């Protein structure tokens, strides 16, 4: 420790005789301080500020909310809570039987008279079929929630990801959102109002090694949403991406909720209450926003390294569990 203190002392003596370097360091320190202050102010503004009223998006006109990936998890909650607020809803998902179950469940909990419609379409094969079915409905679209998505079964190096999963990830996480947004915008522009919520992920905030493809597709969602937010902000249309970390869904494979892992109902409730409070990028769940803010404060390489270490540990545990399950299954076969 003593040699280090001596070195620091010598450096400080040197800087005293070098005003340029001192000025440079002072400027850098001031910039970092300002950045931290503005980041902190933005954080509190997001959580103290009320969101936009959803009624401005065609509630009184009988407008529809279109929700993809709506048969389960976050998507079903968006459909349910928007219906509870009085919006008509079109639920889009791959399997009609799952959609019918979701529609029946939502309908049974409604106190308001709304119309629920279901469209079965496999968006992993493209969005053309879904757009054609939506056109046949001839609806007034007030809200679009691009929620459908797919991730990895477990964290893995990119070359181990099946090519079919790579293509499905692009179609579900990128193409579906891009094409359905392209379909909805002219209808919203005609009415001079609209809301587009693109469900992104905390994995989009920094590159996520072992979830490289998923992280990259969700980063697209953020960039896409930001650009559109600026393009249409004077047209009565609000576009934002929400960036949840873990939520208790089939996608995350987490069942127990906690302060940092909300269930879909709590997350969506916060999302709809905070629409617009965070600009184009919104993380309405307080604990998730804390996590994202910490990552933003870290040097980029440090943040990526931290995520890499966490996912490396997750992968190790997942592989161990998979091996144990396979061993147990083999043992059970031998006893029969």
Catalytic residues: 214, 218
Cβ-Cβ contacts under 8 Å for 36 (sequence gap 6 or more): 297
Q: Cα 236 to chain center, whole Å?
A: 23
Two structure tokens written together for 37: 């202050």
Query: Is the sign of the CA dihedral 273, 278, 283, 287 positive or negative?
Result: negative
Residue bearing tokens 């600026």: 230
Other Cβ atoms within 10 Å of 262 Cβ, number:
23
Within 13 Å of residue 181, how many CA atoms lie on the same side as its CB? 27
d(CA 246, CA 288) in angstroms, rounded, equals 8
The order of strands in the sheet holding 281-282 is 116-120, 88-93, 64-68, 141-146, 194-199, 237-242, 281-282
Cα 266 from chain centroid?
Answer: 15
**In angstroms, rounded to a whole number, what is the distance separating the alpha carbons of residues 109 and 79?**
12
Residue with the two structure tokens 């990119």: 158
- What whole-number distance in Å separates Cα of residue 126 and Cα of residue 54? 30
What residues contact residue 22 under an 8 Å CB cut-off, 6+ apart?
15, 16
Residues near 315 by beta carbon (within 8 Å), at least 6 away in sequence = 154, 155, 156, 210
Radius of gyration from C-alpha coordinates of the chain: 24
CA atoms within 13 A on the CB side of 77: 18
CB 180 within 8 A of CB 146: yes
């Amino acid at each position: 420790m003593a040699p280090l203190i001596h070195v620091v002392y010598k450096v400080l003596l040197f800087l005293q005789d070098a005003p340029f370097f001192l000025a440079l360091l002072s400027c850098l320190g001031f910039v970092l301080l300002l950045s931290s202050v503005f980041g902190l102010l933005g954080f509190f503004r997001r959580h103290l500020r009320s969101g936009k009223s959803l009624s401005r998006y065609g509630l009184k006109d009988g407008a529809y909310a279109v929700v993809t990936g709506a048969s389960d998890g976050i998507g079903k909650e968006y459909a349910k809570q928007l219906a509870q607020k009085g919006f008509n809803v079109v639920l889009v998902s791959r399997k009609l039987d799952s959609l019918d179950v979701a529609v029946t469940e939502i309908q049974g909990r409604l106190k308001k008279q709304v119309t629920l419609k279901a469209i079965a379409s496999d968006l992993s094969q493209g969005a053309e079929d879904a757009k054609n079915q939506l056109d046949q409905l001839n609806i007034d679209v007030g809200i679009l929630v691009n929620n459908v998505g797919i991730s990895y079964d477990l964290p893995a190096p990119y070359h181990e990801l099946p090519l079919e999963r790579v293509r499905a990830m692009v179609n579900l996480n990128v193409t579906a959102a891009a094409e359905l947004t392209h379909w909805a915008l002219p209808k919203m522009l005609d009415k001079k109002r609209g809301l587009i919520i693109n469900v992104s992920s905390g994995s989009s905030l920094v590159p996520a090694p072992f979830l490289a493809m998923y992280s990259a597709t969700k980063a697209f969602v953020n960039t896409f949403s930001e650009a559109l937010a600026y393009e249409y902000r004077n047209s009565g249309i609000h576009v934002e991406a929400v960036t949840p970390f873990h939520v208790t869904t089939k996608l995350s494979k987490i069942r127990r909720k906690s302060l940092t892992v909300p269930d879909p109902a709590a997350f969506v409730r916060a999302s709809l209450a905070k629409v617009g409070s965070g600009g184009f990028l919104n993380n309405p769940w307080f604990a998730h926003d804390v996590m994202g803010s910490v990552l933003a404060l870290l040097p980029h390489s440090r943040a990526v390294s931290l995520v890499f270490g966490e996912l490396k540990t997750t992968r190790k545990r997942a592989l161990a569990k998979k091996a144990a399950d396979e061993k147990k299954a083999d043992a059970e076969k031998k006893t029969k």
